Amino acid sequence: MKILLVEDNERVSQFVMKGLQEAGHTPDHAANGRDGMFLAASEPYDVIIMDRMLPGGIDGLAIIEVLRKAGKRTPILILSALSEVDDRIRGLRSGGDDYLTKPFAFGELLARIDALHRRAAGVNVEGPLVVGNLHMDPMTRRVTRGDRQITLQPREFKLLEFLMRHADQVVTRTMLLENVWDYHFDPQTNVVDVHISKLRQKIDAEFERPLLRTVRNAGYMVTAAD
């Protein structure tokens, strides 16, 4: 994936660039708003990561607004130390697609970038979801693994659906809270883990190869890969 990182903090940039490269992406870096604007407008990126407070008093939101007015539809993730709800709302209104506050876990950033890219590509909205031998039909709400039917509670279904839609991607606890429970706050609890382990009981317990895996320091992933 071709990614542009607009971020002035050297340490954060290095860390993110390295992480993105290791995750198999090809990131470009702009250390100020002018370069960022130039690159964003001229190069075809899959996702742009935009810091808010850039040198010279430029707000990343201004750049996003200009890009959107110029018709650029590239998904943009706003990275900011401004964490208040109003800041978030302003960020998303200016044309950003997602908002992540600093400090952040790299896994969270990576997961969100993948989700943004996936959403922009518009993959698999209606059809059945398949991971290995696990099948889910969102229309009939039927879930099977191999030839066994799995009965899920409505919320468990929603949880699994979200995980399967992001198959082979890391999904963080925050993403699950926001998308499955519509909880836009940190409940300061490990209840998500409990939900996951209940779900794991249902889909993985009696199978040799687990599909729902825990990614350390990041979240979870549904994958059939080894």
Q: Which residues bind other proteins (CB under 8 A)?
A: 83-86, 103, 105, 155, 181-189, 191, 194-195, 198, 216-217
Smallest separation (angstroms) from other proteins to the CB of 153: 9
Cα–Cα distances in angstroms (integers) from residue 192 to residues 107, 204, 212, 222, 226, in the given order: 17, 17, 14, 15, 24
Q: Smallest distance from the beta carbon of 160 to other proteins, in angstroms?
A: 15
In terms of CB distance, is 21 or 197 closer to other proteins? 197
Q: Nearest 5°: phi and psi at 24? A: 90, 15
- CB of 88 or CB of 166, closer to other proteins: 88
Cα–Cα distance measured from residue 219 to residue 226, given in angstroms and rounded to the nearest whole number: 17
The distance of closest approach from Cβ of residue 191 to other proteins in the complex, given in angstroms and rounded to an integer, is: 5
Q: How far is the CB of 63 from other proteins (least distance, A)?
A: 26
Distance, CA of 2 to CA of 223 (rounded, Å): 23
**% helix, strand, coil for the chain, step of 5:** 40, 25, 35
Q: Which is nearer to other proteins, 105 or 130 (CB)?
A: 105
Provide the pairing of β-strand 212-215 with 219-222: antiparallel
Residue-wise DSSP of 53-85:
EEGGGEEHHHHHHHHHHTT----EEEEES--SH
Q: Which residue has the tokens 């990041």?
A: 218
User: Rounded to an integer, what distance in angstroms lies between the CA atom of residue 16 and that of residue 195?
Assistant: 30
DSSP 215: E
| Cβ 103 to other proteins shortest distance, Å | 6
Pick 126 or 186: Cβ nearer other proteins: 186
Q: Which is nearer to other proteins, 87 or 137 (CB)?
A: 87
Min dist. Cβ of residue 50 to other proteins (A): 21
Between 29 and 112, whose beta carbon lies closer to other proteins?
112
**DSSP 8-class letter at 226:** -
